[in-house]
Chains A and B, each alone.
Chain A
Amino acid sequence: MDLTVGILLGTFVLSVLALFFFIWSMAQGLFGTGQSAAAVIFARNEFGIVEDPAATAEQQGDLQQEMDPNEQYYDYFDEAMLAATRDRLAVRRRLRADADHRSRADQSSAGVVGVCLTLAVVWLVLASFAGLISSIKLHAPDWWVQYDWLTFGRIRPIHLNMVAYGWCSLAGIGVALWLIPRLLKKRLIGAKYALVGGALWSTGVFAGTVAIGMGYSEGLEWLEFPWQIDILLVIGGALVGFPLWLTLLRRKVESLYVSVWYIGAGLLWFPILFVIGNWPGLHFGVQQATTNWWFGHNVLGLWFTPLGLAAAYYFIPKVLGKPIHSYNLSLLGFWSLAFFYSQVGGHHLIGGPVPSWLITISIVQSMMMVIPVFAVAVNQHMTVLGNFRALIYSPVLRFVVLGAMMYTAASVQGSLEALRSINTVTHFTHATVAHSHLGLYGFFTMVMFGSIYFIMPRVMNWEWPFPSLISLHFWLVLAGFSIYFIWLSIGGWLQGFAMLDEKTPFMQSVALTLPYLQARSIGGGLMTLGHLVFAAHFFAMGWKFGPTRLGAALLEPSMLLRLLNKKVAA
C-alpha cells in the first residue's frame, strides 16, 4: 500500500503545484496579449479583415462593419504598406500575392480534405439514423425486433462507432489536413498518403460496423471493433498523420500556432491509445476495465478535444480578423489539458471493484480539468467578447462559438460529475449519456459543422448554393439538441435518485424515464433532420447546384483599402 499512497500523494502535490504555477503566472502577467505567434494565421496586413466563406456578400459586409471599430489592430499594418496606401495598384499587387500563396496552400489539400469530409458527412447521416433507432427502441422495445442486427445492443454500439470513428474522426482529420498547410504556410506534402489513409480508415469503420451488426463485437465500449479490423484503422491513421509531419518538418513559419500543437499531439496520441487499448490478449478482468476507461476517456480528451480545439482556435480569430486573446494562456491550456485529461478515465469506475487510489487520482484530475477549461474558455470567449453581434452575420462563427461554449459547459459538468457524491447519482443513468452528447455533439460536432462551412467553399471553389439552408440546419440541430440534452439530463437525474432510494422498486426507475426517453427521440429526430439538410446542401454544393456565384473571394482588397485609409486619416 505504501507505493499506492506515494503515487496518490505525488499526484496531489503535482496538481497543487500546477495550480500555484497557474496563479503565479497569472500574477506575473505572463498571459498578456499580442504575441506574434498568435498572428501566424493572418497574412501580412490581414488584421481586421473578416473571412467567412459561408457568409453571403451582405453578411460579409455586416460582419466587416461589426469588426471595423477594432482599431488597435491597425498597429499590425506594416509601414511599407501604409506608405503605399495611396498607390492602390501596389497594394492590390501585394494582396494578390498573399492571396495566391494561400490559395496554393488550400489547393494542395483540397482533394484529400474533400474526400475525408464527404466520407464524414455520409457517416454522420448513417450514424444519426442508428442513433435515432436506438433511442426509439428504448421506449418502444417491441418495435422492429425481427432483425438481430437491429437489436438495441447492436445498433447502439453501431451508432457510437459510426459517430466516433466515422463522423467525428474523419471530420476532424479532414479539418486538420486543411488547417496544416494554412498554419505552416507550406503546401501539404504527401497528400496522397492521407488519401489512402482516409480510405483505409473508412473501410475499417465500415467493416467494424458490419462486424458489430453480425455479433462479432469485442464487448468493450469504444473498443468494439474486432482487432483484425483495427489494423486497418491503425495503418490508415498512420498514413493520415504522415503528411502532417512531412509538412511540419519543412514549414515556412517560425512559430507553431496553437492549433498545430493540438493537431500534432492528437495525431500522436490517438494511435498509441488505440493500439494499447485494442492489443489482443494483453488485458484481463478488472485491469481491462481500467484500460477500457483510460482509452474511453482519452479518445475524447486526447483525440476529439484536441482536434475540436484546434479548429476553434483557428476559425474564431480567423473569421473575426482578430488574433487570439492570449498566446501564453493557450500554452497553459494545452499542457494542462494533456496532463490532467489523460488521467481522468478512472471516474467511470467509481464504486467499482478497482483500486481506490486509482479512482481518487481520476477524481482529483477531473477537478483539475477546470484549469485547462478556463484557460481555453477565457482565451476563446475573450476573443469574441465585444463582438457577439458577429455571430448574427457569420454562419461559421455561430456554430464554432456555440461549440466552444458547450465545450466549457461539458467540461465543467464533467468535472462535477466525477465528484463521488454527484457520480453516485448520475453513474449508470441516462444523465451520463446526455453529458457525453454535450461533449461530442454540443462541442465537437458543432465546431466541425462550422469548420466544414468555412472549408468547403475553399475546397470546391464554389459557394454554398442555398445560404438559408445553413440557418435551417443550425436551428434544427440547436432545437433538437436542446430538447435532447435538457430532457435526458432531467430523466437521468430522476432515474439516479430513484435507484438510490431503497424503497423505490427498480422498475419504477425504468418507468419514470419513459417520457424523457420519448423526448430524447423527438430531439434526436430534429437533429437527424438537420443532418439531412446539411448533407443535402453539402452534396448540392458538390454537384455545383444553385445559382452561379463568383469563385472564392479570398482577400477583399477594397476592405483593406478602406481600413488603411482610416488609419492614415487617424
Chain B
Amino acid sequence: MSAGQSFWEMDELRLVSGAMVILSVATGALVVLPYLLLENVKPPAGLKPYTNEQLAGRQTYIANGCVYCHSQQPRDIKQAPDFARGWGRASVAGDYAYDTPHLLGTMRTGPDLLNIGARQPSKDWQLGHLYQPRAYTPGSIMPPFPHLFEIRQGQAQAGDTVVKLPPAFARPGEVVVAKPEALALVAYLLALDRTYPALPEKR
C-alpha cells in the first residue's frame, strides 16, 4: 500500500492474501472438516465390501452415466416419502464406506437406487430392463443399452446368459445375450442393498 492510498484501495497483496484466506476458510469447512470427521466412520456390520464383479459393474454404472438420472441417497421420512416409495431408510455416512467415487447423484429422473437390489432382486428383470426398459415399465424414459448386449441369430451358445424378454418384445429367431458388462452391472445393482439397520451415529 503506497503512501496516499486510501484504506479502500486494492492492491495485489490484498487481493492475493484475501482471496487465499477466504478460499482456505471454505475449503476447511467443506473439504477438510468432513475429511477429519468422516475419516474414522466404520462400515455398518450389515454392509459387505463389493466383489470384483460388482466393482466392475460399478464402473459400467459410471461409464454409462446412470448417476445423471438416479440418486443413491434416500431422504428422511420427515422430509420426503422416499421410504414409503420403497427406496429405503435415510442413508448414513457409513453406508458409503466402500463407495469411491461417491454416486449420491442429484437427479431423480428415475427412482433412487440405493436399495434397488432389495426392491427388485430378479436378475432376469434387471437384465431385460437394461436391454429395453419399456418392456417392463411402460412410460419409462430410460435409455436402452443395446451395447451391453449381443443379438444372436438362432440359438444361444453354451455359457451364454440369455435375456428373457417379455413375449411382446422378443423377436422370433433371435436371442439377446448379456455381455459381461451387463452381467457385472446387474451384479452391482443387486448388491445395492442397505436395508440392514443403520448404526447409531458415532459419538
> Do these two chains interact?
yes
A interface residue numbers (CB < 8 A to B): 4, 7, 11, 30, 37, 137-139, 141-142, 145-148, 151-154, 156-157, 215-221, 248-249, 255-256, 261, 264-265, 268-269, 272-273, 276, 283-294, 298, 302, 327-328, 331, 335, 338-339, 342-343, 345-346, 348-349, 351-355, 358, 361-362, 424, 427-430, 432-433, 499-502, 506-507, 509-511, 514
CB closest chain-A residue, reference B87: A506
On whether the beta carbons of A141 and B102 are closer than 8 Å, the reply is no
Pick the contact of A153: B39, B76, B143 (CB < 8 A): B143
On whether the beta carbons of A152 and B92 are closer than 8 Å, the reply is no
Among B16, B29, B37, B85, the most chain A Cβ lie within 10 Å of the Cβ of: B29
> Within 8 Å of chain A (Cβ to Cβ): is B34?
yes
On whether the beta carbons of A342 and B144 are closer than 8 Å, the reply is no
A406 to nearest B CB, angstroms? 22
In the complex, per-residue mask of B122-163: 1 if CB is within 8 Å of any chain A CB, else 0: 000000000001100101111111110000000000000000
Interface size range of chain B in the complex = 35 or more
> Within 8 Å of chain A (Cβ to Cβ): is B45?
no
On whether the beta carbons of A288 and B101 are closer than 8 Å, the reply is yes
On whether the beta carbons of A351 and B102 are closer than 8 Å, the reply is no
On whether the beta carbons of B85 and A502 are closer than 8 Å, the reply is yes
Q: Which residues of B contact A216 (CB under 8 A)?
A: 63
On whether the beta carbons of A265 and B19 are closer than 8 Å, the reply is yes
CA distance A213 to B9 in the complex (A): 48
Contacts known (A141-B140, A141-B143, A215-B64); A276 close to B15, Cβ less than 8 A: no
A-B pairs with beta carbons under 8 Å apart, 23 shown: A141-B141, A145-B144, A152-B143, A156-B68, A215-B63, A219-B62, A219-B67, A221-B106, A264-B19, A268-B20, A276-B31, A283-B101, A285-B93, A285-B96, A285-B97, A286-B93, A287-B35, A342-B22, A351-B76, A352-B104, A353-B104, A354-B93, A500-B80
Pick the contact of B8: A328, A433, A511 (CB < 8 A): A328
On whether the beta carbons of B65 and A157 are closer than 8 Å, the reply is yes
Pick the contact of B64: A151, A290, A509 (CB < 8 A): A151
CB closest chain-A residue, reference B35: A287
Q: Which 3 A-B pairs have the closest CB atoms?
A: A153-B65, A215-B63, A342-B26
In the complex, per-residue mask of B99-114: 1 if CB is within 8 Å of any chain A CB, else 0: 1111111111111000
A140 to nearest B CB, angstroms? 9
CA distance A148 to B63 in the complex (A): 10
CB closest chain-B residue, reference A251: B12
Q: Which residues of A contact B67 (CB under 8 A)?
A: 153, 219, 221
Q: Which residues of A contact B10 (CB under 8 A)?
A: 37, 255-256, 261, 331
On whether the beta carbons of B99 and A285 are closer than 8 Å, the reply is yes
Pick the contact of B68: A157, A256, A339, A349 (CB < 8 A): A157
On whether the beta carbons of A338 and B22 are closer than 8 Å, the reply is yes
On whether the beta carbons of A249 and B12 are closer than 8 Å, the reply is yes
Among B23, B30, B106, B137, the most chain A Cβ lie within 10 Å of the Cβ of: B30
Q: Which residues of B contact A302 (CB under 8 A)?
A: 23
Q: Which residues of A contact B118 (CB under 8 A)?
A: none
Q: Which residues of A contact B22 (CB under 8 A)?
A: 335, 338-339, 342
Among A146, A289, A355, the most chain B Cβ lie within 10 Å of the Cβ of: A289
Contacts known (A153-B143, A217-B65, A288-B101); A331 close to B30, Cβ less than 8 A: no
CA distance A84 to B71 in the complex (A): 71
